[in-house]
């Protein structure tokens, strides 16, 4: 490759790099915080029951578990949250959030559903073959947060982590 072509390519690369540097990075979720009634009971449920790894030893007011690559799930005493988050709390209805765990087979849906129940979860919906071609089940953790265990044969995650089909 001639020096002139190499310099042109370097200029184009640097121009492209400079343009990309001016773009703001897309938002990345690195933590999800759940307001829980009992940090110890929730820590036990998430570590022993669902198999999450404890990131730091449980503190009376908050515990952190590893929920994925670069993702923490914080289990924070709900009574401590208003100081930072304003008025929050539990009511008679389930919190309007669902946490999902996509798995590779129908058998894994059954396994995770049973494991969660054994750890103290409440069944919301039993493992069911869905009209869209997969299988799902839903449980409520000790504070009512919903967990979906889903096998969707169309769900594809590329090697670089991008979801290419759902």
Short-list 140, 124, 145, 137, CA closest to 74: 145
Q: What is the Cα–Cα distance from 105 to 158, expressed in whole angstroms? A: 18
Whether residue 8 has pLDDT greater than 60: no
Helix (H, G, I), strand (E, B) or coil at 2: coil
Q: Are strands 98-102 and 146-151 parallel, antiparallel or unpaired?
A: parallel
Q: Are residues 109 and 157 in the same domain?
A: yes
| pLDDT of the residue at 22 | 56
Q: Are residues 65 and 103 in the same domain?
A: no
Tell me the residue range of the domain where 133 lies: 97-166
- Of 53, 79, 105, the residue that ends a domain is 79
Q: What is the mean pLDDT of residues 68-87?
A: 88
pTM, two decimal places: 0.74
Least confident of 15-24, 136-145, 149-158: 15-24
Q: What is the Cα–Cα distance from 35 to 72, expressed in whole angstroms? A: 14
| pLDDT of the residue at 14 | 43
Gyration radius of the chain's alpha carbons: 22
Domain count, the chain: 2
Short-list 93, 87, 89, CA closest to 34: 89
CATH number where 152 lies: 3.10.180.10
Q: Are residues 59 and 102 in the same domain?
A: no
CATH number where 41 lies: 3.30.720.120
Q: Are residues 113 and 166 in the same domain?
A: yes
Q: What is the Cα–Cα distance from 87 to 102, expressed in whole angstroms? A: 32
DSSP letter (8 states) at residue 82: H
Whether residue 149 has pLDDT greater than 50: yes
């Amino acid at each position: 490759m001639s020096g002139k072509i190499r310099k042109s390519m370097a200029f184009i690369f640097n121009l492209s790099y400079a343009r990309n540097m001016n773009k703001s990075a897309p938002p990345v979720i690195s933590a999800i915080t759940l307001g829980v009634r009992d940090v110890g009971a929730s820590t036990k449920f998430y570590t022993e029951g669902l198999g999450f790894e404890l990131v730091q030893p449980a503190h009376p007011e908050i515990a952190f578990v590893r929920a994925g690559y670069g993702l923490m799930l914080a289990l924070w005493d709900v009574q401590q949250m208003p100081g930072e988050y304003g008025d929050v709390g539990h009511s008679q209805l389930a919190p309007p959030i669902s946490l999902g765990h996509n798995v590779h087979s129908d058998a894994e849906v059954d396994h995770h559903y049973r494991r969660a129940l054994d750890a103290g979860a409440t069944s919301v919906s039993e493992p069911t073959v869905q009209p869209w071609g997969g299988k799902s089940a839903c449980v409520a953790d000790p504070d009512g947060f919903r967990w979906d265990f889903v096998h969707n044969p169309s769900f594809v995650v590329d090697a670089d982590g991008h979801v290419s089909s759902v």
